[in-house]
Structure 1
Amino acid sequence: MLTPLRRGDTLDRIPTALRRARYVLSLELTMRSRLLLAGAALLLLSSACSQPATSSETGKTTIGLVTQAWDNPAIKDLADAATAQAGKHANVTLLAQDSSNMQDMISKVQTMISRKVDALGIEPWDKQQIMPMLQQAKQAKIPVFILQSQVPGTEGNGLVVTSIIGDETAGGKVAGRWLGEKLGGSGRVLVLEGAPADTPGIERANGFEQGLKESAPNATVVARQPADWARDKALRVTTDLLTANSNIDAIFADNDEMAFGALAALRARKLEGKVTLIGYNGTCIGLKATYDGTFAADGILFLDQVGSKFIDAALDQMNGKQVPPKIEPPITLLTTAHLKEIEQGAKSVTVNGSPFDVDDALRKRVTDAIAGKC
């Protein structure tokens, strides 16, 4: 039986069992406190690790790129060129993705923003629907670069650093003027446009009609219809247009993929070689078709330069250098004869009476296509 403690009693009056119980309790509380502290420390460490490191912390620069679909060889060329240019810088990582439609693009752009990339390049499916994404990027302080398009309403308000796009109207004019000369001043022409809301396709087709009228006042565009940049859609559209319009002299397609769709429709009606066919973009397969004479000519869009200039502009902007509000890669047209001249070593070719220089990059592009390295 324990004797009750009184005020003033010393520790030696506390029975041994009670002292042991008190010691065990104290030890247990101490261990629990240590475990709680250790757990809190682990939680803080885990939380810190879950946050993406910033570029200033890692010494790395992360650039995001979201384009239209890579099953279009021209768009894949753009992305590949951007990847190659980024690879020249040891501290630069490029996160490149394509998208199948505008909603897919929005989702992927949002992911890039949430990852806090240092710069973001976008080749929009729709210039209006991309606006909310530009606002989000601005709020996140991520500079945006628009590729192969211009978005109205972004001038001077910090939504876009620059637009990297060739003069599509001028490019279309080159093709139209050349065709008008070839037709001898008159003819009946079909035009396959890109997507209905896609600025480059609209400007390209508009420029083509303007150039055609300049060199062939009596030529007529008897039909102009979108085929959404796709080969299969172009086959269906061209088939319908050929049914509705007889005696066609030429077809101009806004890109090489649609030109190949039109080619399939011409072959089905045994019209290959009888109708002048012009592609656009200067993809490897488009250049090969032009060299072989399957296409009479191909508009050359330097999408490889769009990709590489995007990386250069992004790095310039992050390094505090001045970036112009618009960057314009060149655009021209190459015919079968031009490609044979380049094959023979020509340093310049004449397009609609004006010289166009053949640099090393264009020469390699042409020679690779001729060799079938597509």
Structure 2
Amino acid sequence: MKRALITSLVGSVALVGAAAAQEPIRIGITQNNVGVDSYQTTYEKAFIEAAEADPQVEAVVLDAGGDVARQIGQMQDLIQQGVDAIIIWPTNGQAVVPVVRQAHQAGIPVVVTNSQIAEAGFDFIASFSGPDNITQGRYAAEMMCDALDDAGRVVQIAGQPGYTTAIERQKGFEDALAEQCPDVEIVETQPGDWNREKAQRVMENFLTKYDDIDGVYSGDDNMGVGALNAAKAAGRDDLVFIGATNFAVGYEAMGRGEYWGSVYQSPVEDARNALATAKAVVMGEEVPFLNYFDTPKITQDNMGEFDKPVF
């Protein structure tokens, strides 16, 4: 259903564009932190390729490098340039609200991509394009309940503090776990900042502190495999590992039987959907306020139905 909606959206944009003025649509994007992980690197590459393939689009592609102040400056620069639309992958969902308001007041529509801004900014954006991170967290909880037969002790490695995706995936996981298998206890949560090496150190500390852990939930497979590496080094091959965005390393670990499950999310689809949404907004098309794309559960049992992630 959601995939069909996205296909229809892209098709309608192409039809309207055929009759539009010759001037290209200038779309600026400021990203979170391209170098932090392979998902964001792949997203940027796919976004540039999609923009270059569309003769109606001229893209200004920027990267905040994880720096909120830098991203605010990039937003202000795009406003000064008078671009037709701005796509923002927020470094911090709360901190960027004032500059998103500035774009709105300047008459420039803003599309938030991948990670939502704080609710205080909802009145100033045209659409959110990306995954439903609450649902992803819930899916991870459902898999954890199944893997542990509804009872056990787990640790949680969350993403970057203050980052909406991390907050939502944590909330979705915790709420669903409490509802569906209250006998699965989260004994501690620590941030891994989307970084494999940091997640490995966090997991090493967990293993030193607790000798009765049954499962590990990580906000993405990049961190999850870092935790897995720590467990393997400690001889703990009895743990259940579940993530919330399937990376190639997570997919490979599933194939080896070391990683139980995750959520399948394509950065290519993420990037293309953001560009199509922004273009549709500029062209006067109706778009959903929450323009989610599909992110199904992937486990050792059904991984054969999915291609290995490209990131």
User: How far apart are 1:124 and its partner, in Å?
Assistant: 0.6
Letter in 2 for 1:119: A
Between the aligned partners of 1:280 and 1:140, the Cα distance in structure 2 is: 37
Tell me which residue corresponds to 2:154: 189
Distance 1:287 1:111, change over 3 A: farther
1:150 aligns with 2:114: no
Tell me which residue corresponds to 1:301: 265
Letter in 1 for 2:159: G
1:112 aligns with 2:68: no
Between the aligned partners of 1:169 and 1:319, the Cα distance in structure 2 is: 30
Out of 267, 277, 295, which is 1:313 matched to? 277
Between the aligned partners of 2:243 and 2:140, the Cα distance in structure 1 is: 9
Letter in 1 for 2:167: I
**Scaled by the length of structure 2, what TM-score is found?**
0.85
| Residues 113 and 137, structure 1, Cα contact 8 Å, conserved in 2 | yes
- Structure number with the bigger relative contact order (C-alpha 8 A, sep ≥ 6) is 2
How do 1:126-145 and structure 2 match up within 5 A? 126-145=92-111
Out of 246, 265, 288, which is 1:282 matched to? 246
| Residues 97 and 117, structure 2, Cα contact 8 Å, conserved in 1 | no
Tell me which residue corresponds to 2:294: 330
Letter in 2 for 1:174: Y
What is the CA deviation profile of residues 161-200 of structure 1, one whole-angstrom value per residue up to 9, with x for unaligned ones? 1112332222211111121121112111011111221222
User: How far apart are 1:82 and its partner, in Å?
Assistant: 2.5
Letter in 2 for 1:305: E
Out of 67, 82, 92, which is 2:47 matched to? 82
SS at match of 1:125: coil
User: How far apart are 1:108 and its partner, in Å?
Assistant: 2.5
Which structure is larger by alpha-carbon Rg, 1 or 2?
Answer: 1
What's the C-alpha RMSD, in Å, of the aligned pairs? Answer: 2.2
User: How far apart are 1:220 and its partner, in Å?
Assistant: 0.9
Tell me which residue corresponds to 1:220: 185
User: How far apart are 1:278 and its partner, in Å?
Assistant: 1.4
List 4+ stretches of structure 1 deviating above 6 A.
Answer: none
Tell me which residue corresponds to 2:5: none
| Residues 94 and 117, structure 2, Cα contact 8 Å, conserved in 1 | no
| Residues 86 and 93, structure 1, Cα contact 8 Å, conserved in 2 | yes
What count of residue pairs does the alignment treat as equivalent?
Answer: 289
User: How far apart are 1:160 and its partner, in Å?
Assistant: 0.8
Tell me which residue corresponds to 2:167: 202
Distance 1:292 1:195, change over 3 A: same
| Residues 221 and 247, structure 2, Cα contact 8 Å, conserved in 1 | yes
1:269 aligns with 2:229: no
What is the CA deviation profile of residues 129-179 of structure 1, one whole-angstrom value per residue up to 9, with x for unaligned ones? 1022213322432211111213322334xx211112332222211111121
Distance 1:94 1:108, change over 3 A: same
State percent identity of aligned pairs.
25
Larger mean Cα displacement after TM superposition, 96-105 or 173-182 = 96-105
Tell me which residue corresponds to 1:241: 206
1:66 aligns with 2:66: no
Between the aligned partners of 2:57 and 2:110, the Cα distance in structure 1 is: 17
User: How far apart are 1:58 and its partner, in Å?
Assistant: 7.1
Letter in 2 for 1:112: L
Tell me which residue corresponds to 2:131: 166
Point out where structure 2 has 5 or more consecutive residues left out of the alignment: 1-19
| Residues 181 and 215, structure 1, Cα contact 8 Å, conserved in 2 | no
| Residues 243 and 261, structure 2, Cα contact 8 Å, conserved in 1 | yes
SS at match of 2:59: strand
SS at match of 2:296: strand
| Residues 290 and 335, structure 1, Cα contact 8 Å, conserved in 2 | yes
User: How far apart are 1:102 and its partner, in Å?
Assistant: 1.4
